[in-house]
Structure 1
Amino acid sequence: MLTQLTLDQLRILASIVDEGSFSAAGRRLGRVQSAISHAVRNLEDANGVTLFDRSSRRPELTAEGRVLVNQARRVLAQVDTYERMAGAMAAGLEPQLTIAIDPFVPTPAVIDLLAGLRQAFPDIAVTLYTEGIGAAERRIVAGSASIGICALNPFAPVTVQAFRIGSIDMVPVAAKGHPLAGKAALLEPEDLTEHVQLVLTDPLESTGPNFNVVSPTVWRFVDIGRRLDFLLGGFGWGFMPHYLVREHIAAGRLFKLALSDANVLLGAIDVSVIHDRSRTPGRAAQWLLTKMREPNWHETFAHGCLRTDHEGGQIGSVRAY
């Protein structure tokens, strides 16, 4: 029965409701009224229901008609989306965009970026991976992500194309009540080695290179939020992105540890955008790569990531996790 249903009939049904009459729908669609009436009758026959009450001068939707016209609009909207997506893919838009992001990359900058992407490509599907240290680069190399936003490994394969977008200040912190938090004097490296250090690690290569790991006793975390919970719980000390702990420091829940001038552990993470130079980016990926090179987006990324309060000025540019 429903095999006789056509998109043209659904468009006519929606047009009648939008325009208020069969004749007005005919004028909108460039059809004579008799053709409109015939299409509606065929649609009613195909569905086995009466769509319009014709007992008055002006046909009115029946209860069944009100339900089915809403279904018709959904079908037509899906068809429009299908046609847009097919046309966009024919013009080079990838079916899906996959982005891999290191856990310390600030969310507001990513939201701003993807809000613009959604306006430019409203129908594209996006997969966003936020995993442990090293996962973003690994996905780019494996081809399971088109774009990565991460701290680039200095030993990354030559196929990885990268450009720097900014840096994230790292500060050493411990919870209120932790022995290190109560030290009045500047801390030396040997002071830190006496206590458990909480570090962010690669989930697949935990024995790989570590940065700013000085304590012999280390607890490793893949999830940066979970590591923050344990820092707040007093389980150890560790380096954290300043923007993530700023409020905790201000509230006295965490204390920024004062390290000696001789200590070279303070630093910032340089963040880069990466992609595989051997694969041509699709339209959406190319849009993102262009957007992330713009000074305005660099300012968005930097907002809230760089130290701006009374705790001090910029610090070095070594890697710190």
Structure 2
Amino acid sequence: MRNAITLDAIRVIDTIHQKGSFAAAAEALFKVPSALTYTIQKLETDLGVVLFDRSAKRAILTPAGYLLIKEGVALLKATSQLEEKIHQLESGWETSLTIAKDTIIPDQQIFDIIGSFCQLDKQVEINIIEEALGGGWDALHSKRADIAIGLTGELPKGQFDVHQMGSVEFVFVVANQHPLANFIGLLETQHIKQYPSIVVADSSRTLPSRSSGIFESKQTIRVSNMQSKIQAQVQGVGVGFLPLHLIKYHLAEGTLIAKSCALPRPATPIYMASEKGKQGKALNWFCQQLKQQDWFK
């Protein structure tokens, strides 16, 4: 089925509207006025509507004409953007890139990097998704993400390019109003298990889920991200280990108190990864930028 409205017709109508007359629009479009008149008359006939009120000296759009321009100009812009994206893709720049960010990664540094990328003026749609524990590996494995950062655990062999981002130190903390806040000495299991523990749930969809920092406790409360876990512990809902780089402010102001704990929790190596052999200028740019950051200062 042939559509009556074409991009060329939209462009003609918009130019007539902007210039105020068929003659001025014809000059701007490097066409003769009769060609524009034919285009408009044919479109009006095909649609069965009048697009311009010709009773005045200036070409004035009818309500139907205004609607066509309102929707049509958006189509022109979308078409122009599509053409730019096609040329961009041909030059090696992807049209979209998805980064899976583990919940232990600070937002500020990610947005700083994205801000720098925007200065390149490339039409690449950037998607940030948040994952926890094995969710980052799962996002790569299921191709929900092009890059994953903040990865932990056993490294897959051969399938991904992996780079260590650093190590995260975890500390056992309680709220300043929690019963354990005034405890003196080394916290043992019998002291801790009397209180609820706050745990971040694994976000994996297809790979087996993992657990981290779980210990024997009166009750387990699972949350979806590290910020919720921090907030729950600040409010004294429960206890648990938290990444030192995310709670320095709380420790400094005294809303959280670090306690010596007999439960082992060594520093955890943190990685970023992308699929091996995957090409793309945006992916390569982000990988280079991500590798240069000091993430856990």
Asked whether the two chains share a fold, i.e. TM above 0.5, the reply is yes
- 1:3 alignment partner, SS class: coil
CA distance in 1, matches of 2:120, 2:148: 20
Contact 1:202 1:222 in 2 (8 A): no
Equivalent residues in 2 for 1:1-321 (5 A)?
Answer: 3-94=3-94, 96-118=96-118, 120=120, 123-183=123-183, 185-187=184-186, 195-196=194-195, 197-200=197-200, 202=202, 205=208, 210=212, 215-217=215-217, 219=220, 221=222, 223=224, 224-257=226-259, 259=260, 265=265, 267=267, 269-277=268-276, 279-293=277-291, 295=292, 298=293, 302=295, 305-306=296-297
Aligned residue-pair number = 291
Describe the shift of the 1:192–1:273 C-alpha distance in structure 2 as closer, same or farther (beyond 3 A): farther
* TM-score normalised by structure 2 residue count: 0.80
Describe the shift of the 1:235–1:147 C-alpha distance in structure 2 as closer, same or farther (beyond 3 A): same
Q: Which runs of 5+ in 1 are unaligned?
A: 307-321
- 1:4 alignment partner, SS class: coil
CA distance in 1, matches of 2:16, 2:169: 61
Describe the shift of the 1:97–1:14 C-alpha distance in structure 2 as closer, same or farther (beyond 3 A): same
Question: One-letter code of the match for 2:104?
Answer: F
Question: One-letter code of the match for 2:287?
Answer: L
User: How far does residue 116 in structure 1 lie from its aligned partner after superposition?
Assistant: 4.1
- 2:3 alignment partner, SS class: helix
Q: Deviations over 1:75-115 (max 9, x none)?
A: 21122122223333344444543322211111112222334
CA distance in 2, matches of 1:121, 1:167: 33
Contact 1:99 1:128 in 2 (8 A): yes
CA distance in 2, matches of 1:26, 1:179: 81
Contact 1:100 1:147 in 2 (8 A): yes
CA distance in 2, matches of 1:188, 1:116: 45
Contact 2:140 2:147 in 1 (8 A): yes
- 1:98 alignment partner, SS class: strand
User: How far does residue 174 in structure 1 lie from its aligned partner after superposition?
Assistant: 0.4
Q: Deviations over 1:106-133 (max 9, x none)?
A: 1112222334445547644444331220
Identity %: 25
CA distance in 1, matches of 2:107, 2:17: 44
Question: One-letter code of the match for 2:153?
Answer: N
CA RMSD of aligned residues (A): 3.3
Contact 1:149 1:274 in 2 (8 A): yes
User: How far does residue 42 in structure 1 lie from its aligned partner after superposition?
Assistant: 2.0
Contact 2:10 2:68 in 1 (8 A): no
CA distance in 2, matches of 1:188, 1:43: 81
- 1:87 alignment partner, SS class: helix
User: How far does residue 280 in structure 1 lie from its aligned partner after superposition?
Assistant: 1.6
Describe the shift of the 1:220–1:162 C-alpha distance in structure 2 as closer, same or farther (beyond 3 A): farther
CA distance in 2, matches of 1:274, 1:292: 10
